[in-house]
Structure 1
Amino acid sequence: MSIAPLPERIRPTDLHEVVGQRHILGENKILNRIINSGRISNMIFYGPPGTGKTTVANIIAKKANKSFYKLNATNASLSDVKEVISSTDTLMGLNGVLLYLDEIQNFNKKQQQSLLEYIENGRITLIASTTENPYHYIYKAILSRSTVFEFKPINKDDVIWGLKRGLKIIKEECNNKIILEEEALDYIGEVSGGDLRKALNGLEVAIFSTLPNSNGEIYVDLNIARDSTQGKILNYDKFGDSHYDVLSAFQKSIRGSDVDASLHYLGRLIESGDLISICRRLLVIASEDIGLAYPNAITIVKSCVDSAMQLGLPEGRIPLAQGVILLATSPKSNSVVTSIDKVIADLKNKDVGDIPIHLKDSHYSGAESLGRGIGYKYPHSYKNNYVKQQYLPDNIKNSVYYYPGDNKMEKQFYNYIRELKENSKE
């Protein structure tokens, strides 16, 4: 007879047994209140694997006294959904049907749309789960009819609490005496990455792969724990939402001049092997967040990026770290990006007018008869290579797009140009 995996055997049947998620399941928290009311609405559970989404859905179905059906959108089809719907016309569906649709992001738009009719007429209550951001992957009509709850990674202390509960169950099932070193317990809790299912599976492998000693004891030490868990797996998918979350945290940490956090997120990206995204982001940061506060930053970062691309990983981590430390510790200015964005906004939203005729190309036969280039003043013919004349189109001739950042370098350049303008003659 097959035995269910430990995460299934330990699965909580009541809210107080659920590990973590106190922000939504704690006393008087929103999801706790909804579940205890018995009036269940459509919901979307969003969060990483092993954080209790399926467990909570099971508890909800039990509390609401509804028939519970679970489908996984990875391999389910519309016919599977229709089969669940058909149960609403039987005694099984007398009190209503709760459909738990796991990984709903794997249903395409048409498949998701097909659920709407049954949600709206109340034949089913839908609880969908996803590891991806629902606002990116779930059809808006379903989102508007559902409440989104975010399930967060479980902290290490809660994972260890869950592991101790799992250990207790295994001890009750086995005749052997099981001894689990504190270091081994702590290690499994640490490398689980907030995924209780992964931690419990690692615990079960550690125990049942270890032969009893002469005293009939199964002794699990740190080395066995390491072998059984195969190290920490980062919650990172370069094609998923976490890709953009890590990149966002990476850039914001550099922008905020937190060199340690910047290196941390660089490490995450390196461990995922995402060299291209690191290089592209560093190049844009050099102009977007440092810019003219330290104009040489982009030159140095380009060299670091080129070196990393030529070296590849793991050696490429070294010039990448050099670039990150340089950018994080450099003075900051966003004047470059704000200036060009103002220009583009005007081009999209204003009638900016024609180029001044004296600036138009005059290097062709007949240009003079069209007035092209007439009246243009050649700056190099004037003192300090500067002369006042209109460059912007008439409609926006008084527009100002660039304002210097509050840093020594830009103020120096800006003051130089300002003095030129003030001291020049027409």
Structure 2
Amino acid sequence: MTSRTEWGEPEGLFDAPAEAGAAAGAASRAPDSADPALPPQAVPSAGQPLAVRMRPRALDEVVGQAHLLGPGTPIRQLVDRDAPMSLVLWGPPGTGKTTLATVVSHVTARRFVEISAVSDGVKRVRAEIDLAKRELGMTGRQTVLFVDEVHRFNKAQQDALLPAVENRWVSFIGATTENPFFSVISPLLSRSLLLTLEPLGDDDLREVIHRALTEERGLGGAVSLDPAAEDHLVRLAGGDARRALTYLEAASLVAEDGAVIDTDVLERAVDRAAVRYDREGDQHYDVISAFIKSIRGSDVDAALHYLARMIEAGEDPRFIARRLIVHASEDVGMADPTALQTAVAAAQAVEFVGLPEARINLAQAVIHLSLAPKSNAVITAVDAALADVRKGLAGPVPGHLRDAHYKGAAKIGHGQGYKYAHDHPGGVVRQQYAPDTVDGREYYRPTRHGAESRFAEVLARIRSVLRGTAGRR
């Protein structure tokens, strides 16, 4: 960024304190009156990356995040009212966190200061807060203090922000790719409005790409993109607009002016082969079918292959995680009860961590499920029970099992004769639990695979007690 003095402004009262160094003095200026949406130092230059040149200059140019930008939403109200704000923007990379922060500051005519938690520390934070306090006191002009990657600040560093947020010396906006309930201290989070950004959809990414291809600040029509390459680019981007523009810029450098960027050019530019995979077509269903059947068949290598194909093709990792959770009960079940725990943990990791790191968690779950002993006894049991209910085999609840807690229940026989299981050896006692219509039916038929063999033995003993056959030969 360019310092104010380089634009010809006199040094004086609002210069950063000496200890802040050059970084503090490089804070952005107020929006220029000739262009209220874009301050002079933000005017794109040809030397900047395409993703920077194409950054939206007003809220109406922001693509996606309609749930945050529609009429009556918090950001719209904060912009319209020009009131002090404190926001935490949480979302995956490339979804517009930095963009929203800068656009909000521009359209509300606030002074904008950007701090990176990766490279800056408490010294810089305190210097910028002191400068913001002085300017607010002398001119009434507010400062937007944007802290990128705020989760990288430790507790002490985040504590340094609290007085400024509490007293509204700055309008704080923090951006994080990690779950703020784990990575942002509670006092700071409780004083901020948490806004969640979602990965951009395919249509949103296509709009970003088309703008970059046609607008003068982008590629200005120097190259075009054929439909197959566009589909591949959207898949590679995985909901990340910055990644889409970075890959597009790389491909434009490989292609000649006026040329069409096809799949071959895009593959050479980003060194990523195009995976034939349509998330709404045959490949989607064929690959996920082969994935599950490979796990069911205990072929861990084939299962990992199909997992890699889905990840590389941009399949939603949450969809993969959901299928693993279902499979853990459907095809492993009680043969390895820990399989469900692993699958659920992998799904949580997808939400907390996201790709690319979550590929490791998904792979661990795939390996666990593939190598686990298999049993379909769980799904067979519940489906058999459902089939009986659907046939109308849902007789009245036996009287001794009915609720007997309300006044008058005993007069109609509810609860009479019920045997409290804990009063009997082993916690199991002979009595009828199922309605007469299905009494004696055996829905759960455990296999002898893995841990389920132990449950099979336990179940046989329990059933013998319940039915009064224990000890009989």
Shorter-chain TM-score above 0.5: yes
Match of 1:68 among 93, 112, 122: 112
User: Which runs of structure 2 are paired with 1:115-134 in the superposition (5 Å)?
Assistant: 115-134=161-180
Number of equivalent positions: 314
In 2, distance between residues paired with 1:154 and 1:232?
22
1:228 counterpart = 2:269? yes
| Residue matched to 2:11 | none
Q: Which residue of 2 aligns with 1:331?
A: 378
Deviations 1:266-304 (A, max 9, x none): 8269979xxxxxxxx9xxx89x9579x965457999xxx
Letter in 2 for 1:267: L
Q: Which residue of 2 aligns with 1:3?
A: 47
Secondary structure of the corresponding residue to residue 12 of structure 1: coil
Task: Kindly provide the CA deviation profile for residues 178-227 of structure 1, in whole angstroms up to 9, marking residues without a partner as x.
Answer: 23212222221221011101111111111122234xxxx23321111122
CA distance in 1, matches of 2:143, 2:217: 37
1:162 aligns with 2:208: yes
Deviation of 1:408 (Å): 3.0
Note if contact 2:329-2:379 (Cα within 8 Å) is conserved in structure 1: yes
1:137 to partner: Cα distance: 0.7
SS where residue 89 of structure 2 aligns? strand
Aligned to 2:228: 183
Which letter maps to 2:243?
A: K
Distance in 1 (alpha carbons) for counterparts of 2:182 and 2:273: 28
AA matched with 1:144: S
Contact 2:84 2:170 in 1 (8 A): no
The aligned runs of 1:138-177 (5 Å cut-off) are: 138-170=184-216, 177=222
Residue 101 of structure 2 corresponds to residue 57 of structure 1 = yes
> SS of the residue aligned with 2:172?
strand
CA distance in 2, matches of 1:85, 1:75: 17
CA distance in 1, matches of 2:159, 2:201: 36
Deviation at 1:167, TM superposition (A): 0.7
RMSD (CA atoms): 4.9
Aligned equivalents of 1:137, 1:265: Cα separation in 2 = 34
Scaled by the length of structure 2, the TM-score of the pair is 0.55
SS in 1 for 2:100: helix
- Local SS of the residue matching 1:101: strand
What is the Cα deviation at residue 88 of structure 1?
1.9
* Alignment match of 1:109 (pick from 132, 149, 155): 155
- Are 1:37 and 2:77 counterparts? no
| Structure 1 Cα separation of the partners of residues 217 and 310 of structure 2 | 41
- Rounded to whole Å, the distance in 2 between the matches of 1:232 and 1:31 is 40
- Per the normalisation by structure 1, the TM-score is 0.60
SS in 1 for 2:83: coil
Q: Residue 126 of structure 2 contacts residue 160 of structure 2 at CA under 8 Å; is this kept in 1? A: no
Task: Name stretches of at least 5 consecutive residues in structure 1 with no aligned partner.
Answer: 234-253, 273-280, 302-314, 335-391
Amino acid at match of 2:248: L
Match of 2:408 in 1: none
Contact 2:92 2:199 in 1 (8 A): yes
User: In 2, distance between residues paired with 1:125 and 1:69?
Assistant: 10
Q: In structure 2, what is the Cα distance between the partners aligned to 1:87 and 1:316?
A: 50
1:270 & 1:167 partners in 2: Cα distance?
28
Indicate which of 2, 8, 16 corresponds to 2:60. Answer: 16
Q: Report how far residue 117 of structure 1 moved.
A: 1.2
Residue 333 of structure 1, CA deviation: 11
Of residues 145, 151, 155 in structure 2, which corresponds to 1:99?
Answer: 145
Q: Is the 8 A contact 1:188 1:229 kept in 2?
A: no
C-alpha distance in 2 between matches for 1:326 and 1:170 = 59
Question: Which residue of the partner structure matches residue 306 of structure 1?
Answer: none
- Matches of 1:123 and 1:258 in 2, distance apart? 59
Instruction: Work out whether residues 43 and 128 of structure 1, in 8 Å CA contact, stay in contact via their aligned partners in 2.
Output: yes
**Residues in 1 aligned to 2:127 and 2:306: alpha-carbon distance in whole angstroms:** 48
* 8 Å contact from structure 1 (residues 180, 221) kept in 2: yes
Cα 1:295–1:155 shift into 2, 3 Å: closer
For 1:14-413, what aligned pairs fall within 5 Å after superposition?
14-91=58-135, 94-170=140-216, 177-212=222-257, 217-231=258-272, 267=307, 296=335, 322-323=370-371, 326=374, 331=378, 407-409=444-446
Is residue 335–residue 373 contact of structure 2 (8 Å, CA) maintained in 1? no
- Aligned-partner Cα distance in 1 for 2:185–2:249: 39
User: 3-state SS of the aligned residue for 2:113?
Assistant: strand
Work out the CA distance in 2 between the residues paired with 1:294 and 1:173.
Answer: 54
SS of 1:408 mapped into structure 2 = coil
Alpha carbons 2:54, 2:218 under 8 Å: kept: no
Distance in structure 2 (CA, Å) of the matches to 1:43 and 1:397: 60
Task: Compute the displacement of 1:72 (Å).
Answer: 0.7
For structure 2, which runs of at least 5 residues remain unmatched after alignment? 1-44, 275-291, 298-302, 313-320, 341-362, 382-421, 435-441, 447-454
Letter in 1 for 2:261: V
